[in-house]
Amino acid sequence: MPARPDRTLRDKVVVIGGASRNLGGLLAREIAPDGAKVVVHYNSDSSRDKAEQTADDVRKAGGEAVTHQGDLTRVAEVEKLFDAAVREFGKVDCVVNTAGMVIKKPMTETTEEEFDKMFAVNTKAAYFMMREAAKRVEDGGKIITIVTSLLAAYTGLYSVYAGSKAPVEHFTRALSKELFGRNVSVNNIAPGPMDTGFFYPAETDDSIAYHKSSAMNGDLTKIEDIVPYVRFLLTDGWWLNGQTLFVNGGYTTR
């Protein structure tokens, strides 16, 4: 039988969008002992210290890391992120985009400015991260975007949030097909409401209790619940392609 392909992260260059904290930060730290080379992206000066701490943690755990600041809603900044990865490590093997923004309010109260900002972060940035990843990743690479389990929900109040995440599913299907022949997989992970600072500002005590009650253990999704699935897609899960995985304890199904 032929030798089993190497599906490890050793010496793989992994660009993580939004890696200063929460899911992106934990993923960076978790893949460090595998010998990954991590590009820790962060958006603004307020995240710089946390991004540098993430990079330090990666190095202490056995990986390599570099930080890079950029506004992913600007295409030139997306290109610069990948330029930095290639300049520092010589290549890009994997891209994981965890960056996103949430808003919860009735459609009748949503402003044009809020609409434009949400689609810039959740749709435009995701699209051009995927576009640039497709240009830069090595054959056999992996491209993963974090979306939301609300894509499978019948609910109000999240129209512009879930609506701005929904196009990413089609982006993923289209790009995965376009990259046939290069052995590059393109997938999404759709977590349930996650127990992070990203979640709570948009919610009330009652809605938090409702979200918790909708999962099998009566709790929110933890970032520690999601990282193993990202790692799987980056390694042994390479045969999954063009898919959205709803990792949410039964919060929604499809």
Q: Do the Cβ atoms of 242 and 177 come closer than 8 Å? A: yes
Taking each helix axis as running N to C, give the angle between helix 167-178 and helix 125-136, from 0 to 180 degrees, rounded to the nearest 10.
10
> Rounded CA gap, 145 and 16, in Å?
10
Query: Which of the following is catalytic: 42, 127, 154, 161?
Result: 161
161 is catalytic: yes
> Rounded CA gap, 238 and 184, in Å?
8
Strand ranges (E), 108-227:
137-146, 185-191
Strand ranges (E), the chain:
13-17, 37-42, 64-69, 92-97, 137-146, 185-191, 244-247
> Rounded CA gap, 102 and 200, in Å?
10
Q: Do the Cβ atoms of 200 and 104 come closer than 8 Å? A: no
CA distances from 148 to 70, 90, 99 (A): 23, 32, 12
> Rounded CA gap, 28 and 18, in Å?
10
Task: Just list the catalytic residues.
Answer: 161
